[in-house]
């Protein structure tokens, strides 16, 4: 029998677990870790089943005569290296792209960024976290000078009098979080009456894509009804006047016309927040995944600032990060515009620091590359990458405009995918690299509150699966890099990551495996080995040079898609309790698949009746990009102008067949939450 203390493989809450391996298999127990305090959701309880999925990738695979066939690691890596050599020789280093993932450990994310910049010399690297956290990151950095999902521990939420959740549904996406949210004082903004909204004291139900108008209106009420904290605004912020110039024209009746949220509910929400002794404003993907996602988050930050919440004990603004390492994944250099330590790749001092740690000259480092969707969209085009290496992501299902993305992936000269299950993107690959998963590897993750956690190995991987770190070492050396630049143990990589992050915004230099293994709770920044870490940010000042937070002068604008005659409804997408992300992992766990086996579309009964649809009927939901086939669920609490589809399902059930390529100009976030659609009975042809 062997037991290890580790964390759940799925979402950013990173619930604490104890895994035990006995003769009859692996079992899991929740621990008293602060975020979950002995709780787990359905996904966490069934996580051991992931270790034994029937179609686990065990051998490298190479496409020959159209079929993926098992080959040795040497053959797989030699083949990739030879093709990459040829493509780079013909078309230059940017002809090779890298697509990472927000579920990769800190060590993998760091080494992947280094591999792309040094071994491949490419600027063309980004990751699926662009689809997840980028709007909140852009808005948080602009407002506070630093982006950390929650700048306070999750447990602080338990002491709040009021929490406003804008576009988050933790009752389904991270249920153990709900024990920290007291329902009598919960305000939820969501176009759907979600499981979280059901528990709230107040549910505001705006039309998808109008959250920014609502945020502007709430600021308007806060100021005109005398709830704004004028001393805080004067002493700890800048740019209020510019933000107010925009918010002043969003009087409550206008907001009601645009969003559908009654004036009385707008006023009640502001009053609840303002009269609370302790209040938090939190955003999730519902507010963030828009072509104006960064501005929408900024609108809610403006509200929090107007009420004087951020930078105060027992109050604040935060974002509920989604993916398992959604926080760490955006700190160590797998983003197109960033180097480790959350440094901008265009910053000369940052380039010099990282180049020194890597033992190269700063000129060697490429500049910024394309964002995730732009990278996928450019694949196989005349000036886009001819080869792509995908680690820990399944863009064939999870990217917007999914069928177009599949066509780009299949136009490549070389697609390499490293994963542990045969995802829909693996099925398209020329070479498949079987890699380790959570309980088969060592490493660290950084949860939604910026706390660095140890992932521990319980057992060896099956077959010939290897750690991603070994894969990167094997590829880098074949591409002519010295082997010592690509350590193969997580501890060695983490020690280098610490040096690379030193002095950066996300400073890990004082965090070590030794301290984590001794049980210390370390939130970054932690700049030296004696530093206790920083669970609460901004109490002494915000991270801008003058210590002040910034209001943002934001204005509401239409979504990329506006419902019209041909496509009169708005489709919005999201998650369900039993599935995770593209579903590549959770659809392979029997209990989870039984609980949520297929895509559905939630429709108001009146909308369904007008379309000739009944409960359980198959509907064709169409946008200008394509159609999704989904079973109808009649939901009386849906808005009559809105339908909802979960995005975890493959094939004709991909919700992302509907979504488009409108991007946020600042964060490059695609517009997952708003697609103009029509709905009709599905007829087989």
Q: Which stretch binds ligand SF4 (CB under 6 A): 10-18, 312-320, 335-343, 630-638?
A: 10-18
Alpha-carbon span 213 to 280, nearest angstrom: 20
Q: Is the peptide bond before 525 cis (omega within 30 degrees of 0)?
A: yes
- Which CB, 369 or 583, lies closer to ligand SF4? 583
* Binder among 103, 129, 140, 176 for ligand SF4 (CB under 6 A): 176
* Binder among 51, 95, 174, 416 for ligand SF4 (CB under 6 A): 174
Alpha-carbon span 187 to 268, nearest angstrom: 10
* Binder among 19, 26, 28, 40 for ligand SF4 (CB under 6 A): 40
171 contributes a contact to ligand SF4 by CB under 6 A: no
Question: Distance between alpha carbon 67 and the CA centroid of its chain, in Å?
Answer: 33
Number of amino acids touching ligand SF4 (CB under 6 A): 14
Which residues lie across from 203 on neighbouring strands? 188
Alpha-carbon span 439 to 331, nearest angstrom: 23
Minimum distance, C-beta of residue 596 to ligand SF4, in the bound complex (Å) = 14
Alpha-carbon span 409 to 411, nearest angstrom: 5
376 contributes a contact to ligand SF4 by CB under 6 A: no
* H helix or E strand, kind and range, residue 601: strand 600-603
Minimum distance, C-beta of residue 435 to ligand SF4, in the bound complex (Å) = 20
Q: Taking a C-beta distance cutoff of 8 angstroms, is the pair 99, 336 a contact?
A: no
Given the structure tokens 């766990």, which residue do they identify?
A: 589
DSSP code per residue over 63-116: EETTEEEE--HHHHHHHHHHHHHHHHHHH-GGGEEEEE-TTS-HHHHHHHHHII
Minimum distance, C-beta of residue 45 to ligand SF4, in the bound complex (Å) = 7
* Binder among 26, 41, 77, 632 for ligand SF4 (CB under 6 A): 41
16 contributes a contact to ligand SF4 by CB under 6 A: no
Which residues lie across from 198 on neighbouring strands? none
Minimum distance, C-beta of residue 518 to ligand SF4, in the bound complex (Å) = 23
Alpha-carbon span 191 to 642, nearest angstrom: 8
Per-residue binding letters, 611-650, with ligand SF4 (x by CB under 6 A): ----------------------------------------
Q: Helical H runs in 166-262?
A: 170-173, 195-198, 211-224, 230-236, 240-247, 252-259
Q: Is 131 exposed, middle or buried (0-12, 13-18, 19+ CB in 10 A)?
A: buried
- Which CB, 13 or 26, lies closer to ligand SF4? 13
Per-residue binding letters, 126-165, with ligand SF4 (x by CB under 6 A): ----------------------------------------
* Binder among 11, 136, 613, 655 for ligand SF4 (CB under 6 A): 11
Vertex 121 angle, CA 118 and 124, to 5°: 115
Tokens of 260: 């559908």
162-166 and 186-189 as β-strands: parallel, antiparallel, unpaired?
Answer: parallel
Q: Which stretch binds ligand SF4 (CB under 6 A): 34-42, 74-82, 299-307, 648-656?
A: 34-42
Minimum distance, C-beta of residue 44 to ligand SF4, in the bound complex (Å) = 2
Minimum distance, C-beta of residue 574 to ligand SF4, in the bound complex (Å) = 15
Q: Count each helix (H run) and each strand (E run) in the chain, helices first.
A: 22, 27
586 contributes a contact to ligand SF4 by CB under 6 A: no
- Which CB, 10 or 647, lies closer to ligand SF4? 10
Binding residues for ligand SF4 restricted to 204-233, rule: CB under 6 A: none
Alpha-carbon span 587 to 576, nearest angstrom: 12
φ/ψ of residue 506, rounded to 5:
-95, 85
- Listed in sequence order, the residues at least 6 apart from 484 whose beta carbon sits closer than 8 Å to its beta carbon are none
15 contributes a contact to ligand SF4 by CB under 6 A: yes
Alpha-carbon span 106 to 445, nearest angstrom: 6
* Binder among 19, 26, 36, 326 for ligand SF4 (CB under 6 A): 36
- Which CB, 45 or 144, lies closer to ligand SF4? 45
- Which CB, 111 or 157, lies closer to ligand SF4? 157
- Which CB, 320 or 630, lies closer to ligand SF4? 320
Nearest CA to 283 out of 448, 499, 497 is that of: 448
Minimum distance, C-beta of residue 177 to ligand SF4, in the bound complex (Å) = 7
10 contributes a contact to ligand SF4 by CB under 6 A: yes
The residue with its CB nearest to ligand SF4 is 44
381, HSE (Cβ side, Cα atoms, 13 Å): 11
* Binder among 8, 146, 298, 662 for ligand SF4 (CB under 6 A): 8
Minimum distance, C-beta of residue 423 to ligand SF4, in the bound complex (Å) = 18
466 secondary structure, DSSP code: B
Minimum distance, C-beta of residue 449 to ligand SF4, in the bound complex (Å) = 13
675-681 and 618-622 as β-strands: parallel, antiparallel, unpaired?
Answer: antiparallel
Alpha-carbon span 49 to 26, nearest angstrom: 8
589 contributes a contact to ligand SF4 by CB under 6 A: no
Q: Which stretch binds ligand SF4 (CB under 6 A): 13-21, 73-81, 357-365, 380-388?
A: 13-21
Nearest CA to 329 out of 542, 471, 147 is that of: 147
Q: Which stretch binds ligand SF4 (CB under 6 A): 173-181, 194-202, 301-309, 428-436?
A: 173-181
Minimum distance, C-beta of residue 154 to ligand SF4, in the bound complex (Å) = 11
- Which CB, 445 or 662, lies closer to ligand SF4? 445
Number of other residues whose CB lies within 10 A of the CB of residue 1: 6
387 contributes a contact to ligand SF4 by CB under 6 A: no
DSSP code per residue over 395-453: HHHHSSSHHHHHHHHTT-SEEEEEESS--TTGGG-SEEEEB--GGG--EEEE-TTSBEE
Alpha-carbon span 419 to 269, nearest angstrom: 45
- Which CB, 13 or 163, lies closer to ligand SF4? 13
322 contributes a contact to ligand SF4 by CB under 6 A: no
* Binder among 14, 169, 627, 642 for ligand SF4 (CB under 6 A): 14
102 contributes a contact to ligand SF4 by CB under 6 A: no
Minimum distance, C-beta of residue 14 to ligand SF4, in the bound complex (Å) = 5
* Binder among 19, 26, 44, 354 for ligand SF4 (CB under 6 A): 44
49 contributes a contact to ligand SF4 by CB under 6 A: no
- Which CB, 35 or 120, lies closer to ligand SF4? 35
203 contributes a contact to ligand SF4 by CB under 6 A: no
- Which CB, 41 or 188, lies closer to ligand SF4? 41
Nearest CA to 581 out of 675, 632, 656 is that of: 656
Interface contacts to ligand SF4, rule CB under 6 A: 8, 10-11, 13-15, 36, 40-41, 43-44, 174-176
């Amino acid at each position: 029998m062997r037991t290890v203390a580790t964390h759940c493989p799925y979402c950013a809450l990173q619930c604490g677990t104890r895994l035990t391996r006995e003769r009859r298999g692996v079992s899991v127990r929740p621990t008293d870790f602060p975020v979950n305090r002995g709780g787990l959701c359905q996904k966490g309880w069934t996580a051991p089943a992931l270790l034994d999925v029937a179609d686990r990738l065990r051998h490298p695979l190479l496409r020959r005569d159209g079929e993926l066939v098992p080959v040795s690691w040497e053959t797989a890596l030699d083949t990739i290296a030879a093709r990459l050599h040829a493509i780079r020789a013909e078309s230059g280093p940017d002809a090779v792209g890298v697509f990472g993932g927000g579920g990769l450990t800190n060590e993998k994310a760091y080494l992947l960024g280094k591999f792309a910049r040094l071994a491949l010399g490419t600027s063309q690297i980004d990751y699926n976290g662009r689809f997840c956290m980028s709007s909140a990151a852009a808005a948080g950095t602009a407002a506070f000078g630093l982006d950390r999902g929650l700048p306070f521990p999750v447990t602080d939420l338990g002491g709040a009098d009021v929490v406003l959740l804008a576009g988050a549904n933790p009752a389904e996406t991270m249920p153990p979080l709900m024990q920290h949210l007291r329902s009598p004082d919960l305000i939820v903004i969501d176009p759907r009456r979600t499981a979280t909204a059901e528990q709230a004291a107040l549910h505001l139900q705006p039309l998808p894509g109008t959250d920014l108008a609502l945020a502007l209106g709430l600021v308007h009420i806060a100021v005109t009804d005398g709830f704004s904290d004028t001393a805080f605004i004067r002493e700890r912020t800048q740019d209020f006047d510019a933000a107010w110039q925009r918010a002043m024209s969003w009087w409550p009746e206008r907001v009601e016309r645009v969003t559908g949220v009654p004036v009385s509910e707008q006023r009640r929400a502001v009053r609840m927040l303002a009269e609370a002794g302790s209040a938090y404003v939190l955003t999730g993907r519902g507010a963030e995944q828009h072509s104006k996602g960064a501005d929408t988050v900024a609108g809610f930050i403006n509200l929090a600032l107007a009420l004087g919440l951020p930078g105060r004990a027992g109050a604040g603004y935060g974002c509920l990060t989604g993916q398992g390492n959604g926080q760490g994944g955006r700190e160590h250099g797998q983003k197109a515009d960033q180097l480790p330590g959350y440094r901008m790749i265009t910053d000369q001092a940052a380039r010099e620091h990282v180049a020194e740690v890597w033992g190269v000259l700063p000129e060697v480092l490429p500049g910024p590359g394309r964002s995730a969707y732009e990278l996928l969209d450019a694949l196989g085009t005349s000036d886009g990458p001819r080869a792509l290496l995908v680690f820990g992501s399944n863009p064939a299902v999870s990217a917007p405009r999914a069928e177009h993305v599949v066509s780009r992936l299949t136009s490549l000269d070389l697609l390499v995918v490293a994963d542990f299950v045969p995802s829909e993107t693996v099925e398209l690959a020329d070479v498949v690299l079987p890699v380790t998963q959570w309980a088969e590897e060592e490493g660290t993750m950084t949860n939604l509150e910026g706390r660095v956690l140890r992932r521990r190995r319980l057992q060896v991987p099956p077959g010939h699966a290897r750690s991603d770190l070994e894969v990167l070492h094997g590829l880098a050396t074949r591409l002519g890099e010295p082997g010592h630049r690509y350590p193969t143990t997580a501890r060695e990589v983490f020690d280098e990551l610490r040096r690379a992050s030193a002095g950066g915004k996300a400073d890990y230099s004082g965090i070590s495996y030794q301290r984590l293994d001794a049980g210390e709770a370390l939130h970054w920044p932690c700049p030296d080995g004696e530093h206790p870490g920083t669970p609460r940010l901004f109490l002494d000042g915000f991270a801008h040079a003058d210590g002040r937070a910034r209001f943002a002068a934001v204005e509401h604008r239409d979504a990329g898609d506006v419902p019209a005659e041909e496509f009169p409804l708005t489709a919005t997408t999201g998650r369900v309790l039993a599935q995770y992300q593209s579903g590549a992992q959770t659809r392979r766990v029997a209990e989870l698949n039984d609980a949520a086996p297929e895509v559905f579309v939630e429709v108001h009964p009146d909308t369904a009746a007008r379309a000739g649809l009944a409960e359980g009927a198959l509907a064709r939901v169409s946008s200008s990009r394509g159609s999704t086939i989904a079973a109808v669920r009649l939901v009386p609490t849906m808005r009559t102008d809105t339908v909802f589809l979960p995005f975890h399902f493959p094939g004709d059930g991909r919700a992302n067949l509907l979504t488009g390529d409108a991007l946020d100009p600042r964060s490059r976030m695609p517009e997952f939450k708003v697609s103009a659609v029509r709905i009709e009975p599905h007829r087989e042809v």
